[in-house]
Amino acid sequence: MPADVWDEFSQEIFELDTLAGIGGLLGWDQQVFMPSGSAGGRAQQSELIGRLYHERSTSTRLGALIEAVAALPKLTLEQQAGVRNMRRLYARAVRVPSELASRIANASASGVAAWGEAKKDKNYRRFSESLQTNLDLALERATAIDPNRHPYDVLLEDYDPGTTVKDLRLMFGTLQKGLTLIRQQALGRQGSCAFDEKFEISKQLALHQDVIRAVGYDTTQGALHEAEHPFSCRVGSSDVRIATHVHERDLLSGLAATMHEMGHALYEQGIPQGQGGSAVFAATSTGMHESQSRLWENMIGRSRAFYRWLQPMVARHFPGRTFDPERVFQSSTRVTSGSIRVFADEISYNLHIILRFELELALFEKRITVEEIPAEWARLSEAFLGVRPGDDAEGALQDAHWAGGAFGYFPSYTLGNLYAASLFAVLCECFPDLEHRIEQGDFAPIVNVLRERIHRQGHLYETPDLLRKAVGDRDHVADLLSYLRERYTDS
Ligand SMILES: [Zn+2]
């Protein structure tokens, strides 16, 4: 066996990562800067990069390289983790026949188009056929990857390896009971919107630039711009970008979007690059990624202390405007009774996710049919949130995930909230004066704890193990419930 087989393996992963970065850059540009008439050419460019990535990541050469490095004596811990990660990704990719992969890609593209039309029309029936196709294909893919496991477990592994239906049922069951109780208690105390007035978009963006720099986002290796939908994008190890969306009459929602995406970007910026190749120097899971965004968006970014820190900055960018931190806090802890997930408060949000998990699971276990979704959605929405969607656009058509064929994704959002709550509890233990530090804008020690315990670990450990190392044997459900109880009912 050639001694340089590890180098060859690392180079292959580096080039795959480079292709993914180029794809990311094309997508970033498309959503941020691309002229509106250039979509056709861009689609061809993105398709080519996607195809090259698929070919390289499923090549027999890569398979042979993975097995060759796995057989090397004395692999370091990092190298072993890199091999484990690549083996899983490779196995999942090659078990899906390429004709099935291309049927999935086509169904996803036409699913998104059909969903867009159906949503505009508020008519679920116009989407149900595409949903059925996406569902059938997802089942076919799950069976191709592993016919012996629950198909939903197989799909969960796309996002959160190590988490199973059994885990989610257990966690979500307890969580739902607790959330319902807190929600009932909190519903009585509604604040009004603090900012029903105009805040110029360009000044909001300038404020956001100051905020992310102060927190620790490296703007020499990243950038913040505006797009229709907020997202973050890893172009390379030294280039992680943020796109936000601001609203002229809602200062807080734009700020929340920027804080959320900044949390994702801080994670990516904190992952080191090294000899193990990016198979280990990568985020560990979607849920863990989401924990980083939620921690900054909610636990820190919606706190009284944060708003107190923000007050003089708002005054600088918007002279003469009132920004009363207490009033802003009350406004940002308002419990909503709407049926749209992305507008939901922190308590209801998780109930939305549990609703989607229940529906997805029922579909995959064939306990309900695609036709029954709107009725079942309305029933669960009434039971969980006390509201029935006014129409299909407010119900089963509100999210694009199923249209693109992403089943098993929704739980990651609540897993992120659960992990973030435990990380926040640990931060409170590390810094008994945490509130004071936030109020002073002393964010570096907070970022450092996240760097040490999460970011710098990359994908050395699977998420459950990484979490145990980072927060000990904490009960994530209890941590989230006690955080929400304190924020929504005690203050
Ligand atoms: Zn996110």
Task: Say if residue 289 is in the same domain as residue 193.
Answer: yes
pLDDT at 276 over 70: no
Place of tokens 């089942």: 139
**What are the tens digits of pLDDT across the range 179-199?**
999 999 998 766 555 567 889
Task: Say if residue 211 is in the same domain as residue 69.
Answer: no
Q: How many domains does the chain have?
A: 2
Q: Is-contact 184 412, C-beta < 8 A?
A: no
For position 188, what pLDDT does the model report? 74
**Tell me, what amino acid is at 333?**
T
pLDDT at 295 over 90: yes
CA 8 distance to own-chain centroid: 32
Asked if residue 198 is part of any domain, the answer here is yes
**What are the tens digits of pLDDT across the range 168-182?**
999 999 999 999 999
pLDDT band for 237, please (50, 70, 90 cuts).
confident
- CA–centroid distance, 233 to ligand 1, in Å, is 11
Dihedral sign (CA 411, 413, 416, 421):
negative
**What are the tens digits of pLDDT across the range 20-44?**
999 999 999 999 999 989 988 998 9
Q: Tell me 250's DSSP state.
A: B
CA 362 distance to own-chain centroid: 23
Asked if residue 149 is part of any domain, the answer here is no
- CA–centroid distance, 237 to ligand 1, in Å, is 19
**What are the tens digits of pLDDT across the range 1-22?**
455 999 999 999 999 999 999 9
Q: Which of 60, 95, 130 is the last residue of a domain?
A: 95
Task: Say if residue 195 is in the same domain as residue 317.
Answer: yes
- CA–centroid distance, 261 to ligand 1, in Å, is 6
Q: Tell me if residue 363 falls in helix, strand or coil.
A: helix
Which are the catalytic amino acids?
Answer: 261
- CA–centroid distance, 27 to ligand 1, in Å, is 17
Average per-residue pLDDT in the chain? 94
Task: Say if residue 17 is in the same domain as residue 166.
Answer: no
Asked if residue 105 is part of any domain, the answer here is no
Asked if residue 221 is part of any domain, the answer here is yes
**Nearest to residue 264, comparing CAs of 215, 313, 319, 196?**
215
Q: Is-contact 469 410, C-beta < 8 A?
A: no
**What are the tens digits of pLDDT across the range 450-486?**
999 999 999 999 999 999 999 999 999 999 999 999 9
**Tell me, what amino acid is at 146?**
D
**What are the tens digits of pLDDT across the range 381-405?**
999 999 999 999 999 999 999 999 9
pLDDT band for 277, please (50, 70, 90 cuts).
low
Asked if residue 43 is part of any domain, the answer here is yes
- CA–centroid distance, 246 to ligand 1, in Å, is 16
**What are the tens digits of pLDDT across the range 302-328?**
999 999 999 999 999 999 988 999 999
**What are the tens digits of pLDDT across the range 408-438?**
999 999 999 999 999 999 999 999 999 999 9
Dihedral sign (CA 249, 253, 256, 262):
negative
Cα Rg of the chain (Å, integer): 23
Domain of residue 52, residue span: 1-95
Phi then psi for residue 409, to 5 deg, are: -85, -45
Asked if residue 113 is part of any domain, the answer here is no
Asked if residue 398 is part of any domain, the answer here is yes
For position 1, what pLDDT does the model report? 47
Q: Is-contact 177 193, C-beta < 8 A?
A: no
Task: Say if residue 265 is in the same domain as residue 394.
Answer: yes
**Average pLDDT estimate for 291-304:** 97
Task: Say if residue 233 is in the same domain as residue 364.
Answer: yes
Q: Tell me 295's DSSP state.
A: I
- CA–centroid distance, 374 to ligand 1, in Å, is 26
Domain of 348: which CATH number? 1.10.1370.30
Specify whether the backbone of 72 is left (phi greater than 0), alpha (psi in -120 to 50) or beta.
beta
Q: Which of 80, 95, 110 is the last residue of a domain?
A: 95
pLDDT at 275 over 70: no
Task: Say if residue 87 is in the same domain as residue 180.
Answer: no
Q: Which of 44, 61, 95 is the last residue of a domain?
A: 95
Q: Is-contact 132 139, C-beta < 8 A?
A: no
- CA–centroid distance, 298 to ligand 1, in Å, is 12
Task: Say if residue 69 is in the same domain as residue 165.
Answer: no
**Average pLDDT estimate for 329-338:** 88
Asked if residue 7 is part of any domain, the answer here is yes
